[in-house]
Amino acid sequence: MQIARYTAYGGPETVALEDAPIPTPGQGELLIRVRAAPVTAGDARMRSGRVPRGLSLMVRLAIGWSRPRVAPGWAFAGEVAALGPGVTGFTQGQRVFGLKGFKGGAHAEYLTIPATGPVLSLPDTLSFEQGAAFFFGGLTAAEFLIDRARLAPGERLLVAGATGSVGSAAVQIARHVGAEVAATASPANHPLARQLGATEVTDYRSGPPQGPFDVILDVMGSLGWSRAQPLLTPQGRLVLITADLSEMLASALRRRRFITGTNKDDLPSMRRLVDLHRAGGYTPVIGPTLPFAQLAQAHRIAESFHKPGNLIVTMG
Ligand SMILES: NC(=O)c1ccc[n+]([C@@H]2O[C@H](COP(=O)([O-])OP(=O)(O)OC[C@H]3O[C@@H](n4cnc5c(N)ncnc54)[C@H](OP(=O)(O)O)[C@@H]3O)[C@@H](O)[C@H]2O)c1
């Protein structure tokens, strides 16, 4: 089988595809034949080592000093190819989707994962591509809007950067919650933002839209506290999905109104997102789709931070 490997911190050319033996599932493990996997903003950041200011040291301590010592690929969708000893609750051929997490390994034609780990049955309503796209933006948007900002029905939300992976999930989930959604996007993506449920769409290059907002979800951190605060109601909350170290420290002083951090990717969060999908509140947007052999090109697109929806590689 083919697997991906990072050879160094650097450009997309540092992603190499190489041959490897198909792994054997151990006790309690599933062998998955991967059909599709996302190439996320997180994958691009791991590969390049380019992270918001002040966080580089922490990231290199976590994933490798001189090169990323993690495997490429955070999430996957595919089929159960074999069951390791002692596995219950899954059958051979079952469609599944799940997460390899930050240690990675989903950019491969086969992978193993504990059957009790972050892997779930793929609903019939989702294709392999949609399954691959499902968790990255969806988990982030659901946790920050529902749990952290406590977005309520009737509130007015601005999603700044509304059509990428996180933004496209946020617009849908907010509409499902019953919020009114304004969005910013580049002009080519305005139809997509409206289709997702935004009622007011403007170009972020011509400045922020008219406030006040109860919640602002600033996907790329392009507004920051100083530009967002005048657009908020007195009880309004700013969520910075992309925040540097100084913003993270500053948010600790205004906990309720200024929200930063990272989201959870555990089984309860994954199940909650599946429930949201079943209730009609979220279906991931599929953007560019490339064959696995073009993984380096997919990284090139991912690190532009201007892709519509989710970028997928397919393993055939
Ligand atoms: N905190 C966490 O736990 C967490 C979790 C997931 C992701 N993230 C971070 O969130 C960010 C977005 O991830 P993603 O997967 O959604 O990326 P993405 O799919 O590449 O989407 C980026 C979005 O930002 C918009 N955008 C680009 N430049 C902008 C600017 N200057 N002002 C306003 N909007 C701008 C793009 O709009 P156009 O395409 O219309 O130009 C697009 O909608 C990344 O930095 C990622 O590392 C953080």
pLDDT digits (tens, 9 = 90+) for 266-288: 999 999 999 999 999 999 999 99
Does the pLDDT of residue 254 top 90, yes or no?
A: no
Count structural domains, the chain.
2
pLDDT range class, residue 197, cuts 50, 70, 90: very high
pLDDT of residue 246: 95
Residues with a CB atom less than 6 Å from ligand 1: 40-42, 45, 137, 140, 160-161, 163-167, 184-186, 189, 204, 219-220, 222, 241-242, 262-263, 305-307
User: Is residue 256 over pLDDT 90?
Assistant: no
Q: Are residues 140 and 227 in the same domain?
A: yes
10 and 130 share a domain?
yes
Q: Residue 237: what pLDDT?
A: 98
**Residue 87 per-residue DSSP state:** -
- DSSP codes joined into one string, 232-262: EEEEEEEEESS--HHHHHHHHHTTTTEE-S-
Both 188 and 208 in one domain: the answer is yes
The answer on 127 and 15 residing in a single domain is yes
Q: How many Å apart are CA 299 and CA 15, to the nearest integer?
A: 8
**How far is the C-alpha of 228 from the C-alpha of 143, rounded, in Å?**
20
Residues 102 and 156 in one domain: no
Minimal-distance CA residue to ligand 1 atom 34: 161
- Alpha carbon distance 121, 55 (integer Å): 35
Give mean pLDDT, residues 137-159: 98
Nearest to 280 by CA among 161, 131, 177: 177
CA–CA distance, 78 with 95 (Å, rounded to integer): 6
> Residue 71 sits in a domain of what CATH number?
3.90.180.10
294 by DSSP, 3-state: which?
A: helix
Same structural domain, 33 and 54? yes
How much is the pLDDT for 87?
98
Measured CA to CA, the distance from residue 134 to residue 17 in angstroms comes to 24
- Domain with 89, as residue range(s), is 2-134+284-314
Residue 261 alpha carbon to ligand 1 centre in Å? 15
**pLDDT, position 208:** 84
Pairwise CA distance, residues 259 & 236, whole Å: 11
CA atoms of 273 and 134, how far apart (whole Å): 9
The rounded mean pLDDT for the chain is: 97
The type of residue at 174 is A
Q: Is the pLDDT of residue 47 over 90?
A: yes
Measure 181 CA to ligand 1 centroid, in angstroms.
Answer: 17
SS3 call for 89: coil
Ligand 1 closest atom vs CA 310 = 19
* 255 and 295 co-located in one domain: no
Strand partners, 156: 180
Shared domain check, 146 and 58: no
Distances (CA, A) of 204 to 140, 208, 218, 222, 250: 21, 6, 11, 9, 24
Tokens for 11? 């450009």
Determine the residue of 39, 158, 166 to mutate for testing ligand 1's pocket, defined as the one with the most ligand atoms within 8 A of the Cβ atom.
Answer: 166
- 316 pLDDT more than 90: no
Domain containing 182 — which CATH number? 3.40.50.720
Give residue 207's pLDDT.
83
- Domain end marker among 242, 259, 276: 259
19, pLDDT greater than 90: yes
CA of 117 to the centre of ligand 1 (A): 28
Is it the case that residue 314 has pLDDT exceeding 90? Answer: yes
In this structure, what are the phi and psi dihedrals at residue 52, rounded to the nearest 5 degrees?
-55, 150
Q: Pairing mode, if any, of strands 156-160 and 200-202?
A: unpaired
Mean pLDDT of 299-314: 97
Instruction: Looking at the structure, tell me whether residues 140 and 247 fall in a common domain.
Output: yes
pLDDT for 255 equals 79
